[in-house]
């Protein structure tokens, strides 16, 4: 099953990206939490890890463990961040974006999208307030201000893929909050 999702993700299948994110999020996050001892940093590095992994998924060799590959990407990102801190570089990094690489096809509304549009606004805002502030921010930009991924990336000064991963995670967490509240 995992191998099928990896193959589908290589072809740009959004459901497979979601599956991989859900399946391995805790592994990468917990690995980084042990390394950084900081929830925010661990979450940020995890988002960057999935962003880079989805960007480079074509390079993944199925003979190896996907989890190990993700952890190694995560480790490299953390090392890069430490080097930047130690060198006290205060410049913003720029990313050259090749649109073909960053395309994650998502034509149909997901169940989370449907929940967002169908819920009573006041109740939905109460659910959203339960999310961490950076997730509230991307939900607000995407669904209330109706900004594109590119516009959100510019506002947050982050790569587009980071924004996509943050939105995937925010929607999943929001869906869990809504589901848990209804049960």
Q: How confident is the model at residue 110 (pLDDT cuts 50, 70, 90)?
A: low
What's the chain look like in SS3? CHHHHHHHHHCCCHHHHHHHHHHHHHHHHHHHHHHHCCHHHHHHHHHHHHHHHHHCHHHCCCCCCHHHHHHHHHHHHHHHHHHHHHCCCCCCCCCCCCHHHHCCCCCCCCHHHHHHHHCCHHHHHHHHCCCCHHHHHHHHHHHHCCCCHHHHHHHHCCCHHHHHHHHHHHHHHHHHHHHHHHC
pLDDT of 61 strictly over 90 = no
Comparing 14-28, 90-104, 140-154, 163-177, the range with the smallest average pLDDT is 90-104
The CA–CA distances, whole Å, from 168 to 31, 63, 104 equal 20, 27, 11
Give the pLDDT of residue 17.
87
Query: Do 115 and 175 meet the contact criterion of CB atoms below 8 Å apart?
Result: yes
Give the pLDDT of residue 154.
94
Q: How confident is the model at residue 92 (pLDDT cuts 50, 70, 90)?
A: very low
The predicted-structure confidence for 146-171, as pLDDT tens digits, reads as follows: 888 899 999 999 888 888 889 888 88
Give the pLDDT of residue 89.
45
Query: Do 169 and 25 meet the contact criterion of CB atoms below 8 Å apart?
Result: yes
pLDDT of 96 strictly over 50 = no
Mean pLDDT of 93-120: 50
Mean pLDDT of 25-31: 93
Alpha-carbon distance 43 to 178, whole Å?
Answer: 22
Assessment of whether the complete model's pTM goes beyond 0.85: no
pLDDT of 105 strictly over 60 = no
Query: Do 57 and 8 meet the contact criterion of CB atoms below 8 Å apart?
Result: no
**Nearest of 8, 39, 55 to residue 160 by alpha carbon:** 55
pLDDT of 85 strictly over 80 = no
User: What token pair was written down for 139?
Assistant: 């939900």
Positive or negative: CA dihedral 149, 163, 17, 109: negative
Query: Do 160 and 102 meet the contact criterion of CB atoms below 8 Å apart?
Result: yes
What average pLDDT does the chain have?
81
Give the pLDDT of residue 183.
67
């Amino acid at each position: 099953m995992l191998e099928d999702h990896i193959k589908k993700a290589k072809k740009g299948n959004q459901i497979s990206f979601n599956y991989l994110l859900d399946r391995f999020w805790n592994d990468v996050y917990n690995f980084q939490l042990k390394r950084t001892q900081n929830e925010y940093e661990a979450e940020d590095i995890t988002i960057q890890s999935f962003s880079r992994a989805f960007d480079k998924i074509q390079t993944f060799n199925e003979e190896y463990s996907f989890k190990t590959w993700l952890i190694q990407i995560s480790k490299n990102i953390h090392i890069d961040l430490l080097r930047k801190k130690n060198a006290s570089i205060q410049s913003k990094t720029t990313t050259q974006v090749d649109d073909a690489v960053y395309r994650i096809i998502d034509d149909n509304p997901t169940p989370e999208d449907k929940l967002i549009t169908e819920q009573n606004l006041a109740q939905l805002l109460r659910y959203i307030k339960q999310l961490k502030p950076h997730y509230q921010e991307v939900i607000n930009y995407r669904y209330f201000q109706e900004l594109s991924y590119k516009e959100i990336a510019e506002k947050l000064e982050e790569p587009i893929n980071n924004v996509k991963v943050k939105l995937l995670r925010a929607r999943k967490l929001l869906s869990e909050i809504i589901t848990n509240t209804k049960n």
